[in-house]
């Protein structure tokens, strides 16, 4: 049986995913933007709440047709007869 | 379970403000108001061929293995309301409905199947209550349930939200549980009874950080554990030489999901961009990568928003295109579900939203109407067209 290696595509993709996702968060906890400069974040295009029904509908479509349900803040695998 | 979930929801609705009022004076009742009502109606039209489907295939003995039809129409109205109870308590209520007409379950033996497979109506209710305990701390409770003709589930969860660094960063820690109960329909349409169950629990940690006056990044991790009957019991694997074997999954499944997102505003041109990535792996051996790019351009009070999403997935280790014999042992894990196959998926969408009755700066609660279209296509032949109409009214 071969030993797991970082050179394998699966291990490499996992490492790259973790590094890629976490790298921009190196500055977490820093107070960079004062309150009076946050106008852009209130715009609907920047606020996920503005598209919550659309996100829910398309998320359900993807969850029922792909292997990778879950991870959207809800428990996976419920609410439909799909096995994904 | 479902009644209990509903009772808990009602109890929370009335208890939430009184719990918080121990710490501070309650706001006047006059603060109670609906902040926004939103409605969405979507139509999904699907075509494709999948090995798990028995629809429109040659059933004569000795016929070659074929992919059955996955033709389906889905009509999906949804309604949501955001209700502010007082200065620190809001309720978000969502009522999703699905009406599904699908070829694949219709192909089960019509003489013995329940009526559930012909046209399936489903409805549910989700309530998320958020209580702002302090300037930097909020709590959320989620209660939900969902019914279909042969399926029901109840959901309950909660989250702790902490804002820090002068609201530049937000940490969210949450737990969700879901309990499903359903009839174990077999591939031949027989319901052997009694009902079977599935339980899932998910723990999520996510954090977001402002990087500049126009840039926000976020990342999250979710672990989900599932127990019970996890397969779609009427799905089956075609057998070489004829016959079918019912799908069989392990009774436990662990799922890991890692997400990252960056949103960027370009005020000079009124343009907004978003890029997100999602990694998934589970104990079935499935793995996926998904990336999505969203671009929004304002033209006066109208936005034009386009998105493209790419998804690649590797199938679970026990996925097979056919089984060698109908005498496979019970313990042999198997599926030929086309949704779980190794595949690429491409999705592209465009919508136009008009913000009418604009009062002051636009926010997520502004009134709007929207028309949208999404194309979804997979490398294993499934194609879906989605048309949608949205209406939101801010009070």
CATH fold for the domain made of B2-17+38-394: Porin (2.40.160)
Domain residue spans of chain B: 2-17+38-394
Residue B170: its pLDDT value, please?
A: 93
Cis peptide before A3 (omega within 30 of 0): no
Contact criterion met (CB < 8 Å) for B178 and A75: yes
Q: In angstroms, rounded to a whole number, what is the distance separating the alpha carbons of residues B155 and B175?
A: 11
Residue of B76, B181, B255, B335 to mutate, testing the A interface (most A Cβ within 10 Å of its Cβ): B255
pLDDT per position as a tens digit, A22-79: 666 666 667 789 999 999 999 999 999 999 999 999 998 998 899 987 766 665 655 4
Task: Work out whether strand B120-134 and strand B137-147 pair parallel, antiparallel, or are unpaired.
Answer: antiparallel
Contact criterion met (CB < 8 Å) for A57 and B388: yes
CB atoms within 10 A of CB B169: 21
- The shortest CB-CB distance from B226 to any of A13, A46, A77 is to A77
Residue of A70, A72, A82, A84 to mutate, testing the B interface (most B Cβ within 10 Å of its Cβ): A70
CB atoms within 10 A of CB B173: 14
Report the candidate in B31, B21, B137 with the shortest Cα–Cα distance to residue B86: B31
Residue A50: its pLDDT value, please?
A: 93
**Entry field: residues in chain B:** 395
Residue A81: its pLDDT value, please?
A: 46
Which residues of chain A lie closer than 8 angstroms to B280, CB-CB? 67-68, 70-71
Which residues of chain B lie closer than 8 angstroms to A76, CB-CB? 200, 202, 224, 226, 255
| Token reading at B252 | 């436990």
Helical ranges in chain B per DSSP H: 2-21, 103-106
Report the candidate in B314, B302, B248, B238 with the shortest Cα–Cα distance to residue B62: B238
Identify the helix (H) or strand (E) that includes residue B73.
strand B72-86
More confident residue, B245 or A80: B245
Residue of A39, A76, A84 to mutate, testing the B interface (most B Cβ within 10 Å of its Cβ): A76
Q: In angstroms, rounded to a whole number, what is the distance separating the alpha carbons of residues B146 and A64?
A: 16
Are the CB atoms for A78 and A64 separated by under 8 Å?
no
Q: In angstroms, rounded to a whole number, what is the distance separating the alpha carbons of residues B352 and B369?
A: 8
Q: Given CA atoms B292, B312, B202, A25 in this order, what sign does their dihedral have?
A: negative
Contact criterion met (CB < 8 Å) for A52 and B80: yes
Residue B117: its pLDDT value, please?
A: 43
Report the candidate in B136, B165, B279, B211 with the shortest Cα–Cα distance to residue A26: B211
- The shortest CB-CB distance from B230 to any of A13, A68, A83 is to A83
**Entry field: residues in chain A:** 84
Q: In angstroms, rounded to a whole number, what is the distance separating the alpha carbons of residues B179 and B184?
A: 15
Contact criterion met (CB < 8 Å) for B207 and A22: no
Sole residue written with tokens 């969203």: B294
Q: CB under 8 Å to A16, separation ≥6 — which residues?
A: none
Helical ranges in A23-83 per DSSP H: 39-42, 52-65
Are the CB atoms for B221 and B206 separated by under 8 Å?
yes
Phi-psi region of B242 (alpha: psi -120 to 50; beta: other; left: phi over 0): left
pLDDT tens digit at each of 395 positions of chain B: 444 555 555 555 555 555 454 555 555 445 789 999 999 999 999 999 888 888 887 777 777 888 888 889 999 999 999 999 988 999 999 999 988 887 766 666 543 333 334 577 889 999 999 999 999 999 999 999 988 877 888 999 999 999 988 889 999 999 999 999 988 888 888 888 888 999 999 999 999 999 999 999 999 999 999 999 999 888 889 888 888 899 999 999 999 999 999 999 999 999 999 999 999 999 999 999 999 999 999 999 999 999 999 999 999 999 999 988 888 888 899 999 999 999 999 999 999 999 997 777 888 889 999 999 999 999 999 999 999 999 999 98
Q: How many CB pairs under 8 A join A and B?
A: 258
- The residue of chain A nearest to residue B290, with distances taken between CA atoms, is A68
- The shortest CB-CB distance from A78 to any of B200, B211, B340 is to B200
The model carries a pTM of: 0.86
CB atoms within 10 A of CB A34: 11
């Amino acid at each position: 049986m071969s030993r797991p290696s970082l050179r394998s595509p699966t291990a490499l993709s996992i490492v790259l995913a973790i590094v890629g996702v976490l790298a921009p968060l190196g500055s977490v906890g820093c107070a960079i933007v004062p309150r009076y400069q946050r106008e852009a974040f209130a715009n609907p295009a920047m606020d996920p709440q503005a598209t919550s029904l659309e996100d829910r509908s398309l998320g359900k479509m993807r969850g029922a047709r792909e292997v990778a349900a879950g991870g959207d803040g809800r428990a996976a695998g419920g609410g439909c007869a799909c096995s994904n | 379970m479902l009644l209990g979930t509903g009772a808990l929801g009602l109890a929370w609705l009335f208890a939430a403000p009184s719990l918080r009022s121990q710490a501070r004076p309650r706001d006047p009742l006059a603060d109670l108001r609906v902040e926004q009502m939103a409605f969405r109606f979507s139509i999904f039209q699907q075509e494709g061929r999948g090995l798990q489907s028995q629809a429109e295939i040659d059933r004569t003995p000795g016929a070659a293995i074929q992919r059955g039809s996955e033709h389906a129409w889905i009509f999906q109205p949804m309604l949501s309301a955001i209700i502010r109870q007082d200065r620190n308590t809001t309720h978000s209520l969502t009522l999703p409905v699905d009406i599904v007409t699908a070829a694949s379950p219709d192909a089960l033996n019509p003489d013995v199947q329940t009526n559930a497979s012909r046209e399936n109506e489903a409805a549910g209710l989700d309530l998320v209550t958020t209580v702002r305990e302090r300037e930097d701390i909020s709590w959320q409770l989620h209660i939900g349930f969902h019914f279909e003709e042969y399926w029901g589930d109840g959901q309950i969860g909660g989250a702790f939200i902490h804002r820090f660094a002068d609201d530049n960063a937000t940490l969210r820690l949450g737990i969700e549980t879901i309990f499903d109960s359903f009839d174990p329909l077999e591939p031949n349409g027989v319901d052997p009874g009694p009902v079977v169950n599935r339980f899932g629990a998910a723990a999520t940690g996510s954090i977001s950080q402002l990087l500049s006056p126009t840039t926000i990044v976020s990342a999250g991790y979710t672990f989900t554990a599932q127990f019970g009957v996890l397969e779609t019991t009427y799905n089956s694997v075609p057998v070489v030489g004829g016959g079918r074997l019912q799908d069989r999954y392990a009774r436990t499944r662990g799922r890991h999901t890692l997400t990252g997102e960056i949103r960027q505003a370009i005020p000079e041109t009124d343009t907004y961009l978003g890029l997100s990535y999602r990694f998934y792996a589970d104990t079935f051996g499935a793995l996926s990568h998904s990336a999505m790019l969203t671009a929004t351009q304002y033209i006066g009070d109208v936005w034009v928003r386009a998105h493209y999403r790419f998804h690649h997935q590797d199938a679970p280790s026990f996925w097979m295109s056919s089984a060698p014999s109908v005498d496979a042992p019970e313990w042999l894990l198997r599926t030929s579900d086309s949704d779980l196959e190794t595949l690429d998926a491409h999705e592209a969408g465009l919508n136009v939203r008009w913000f009418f009755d604009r009062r002051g700066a636009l926010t997520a609660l502004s009134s709007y109407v929207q028309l949208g279209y999404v194309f979804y296509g997979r490398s294993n032949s499934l194609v879906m067209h989605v048309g949608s109409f949205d209406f939101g009214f801010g009070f």
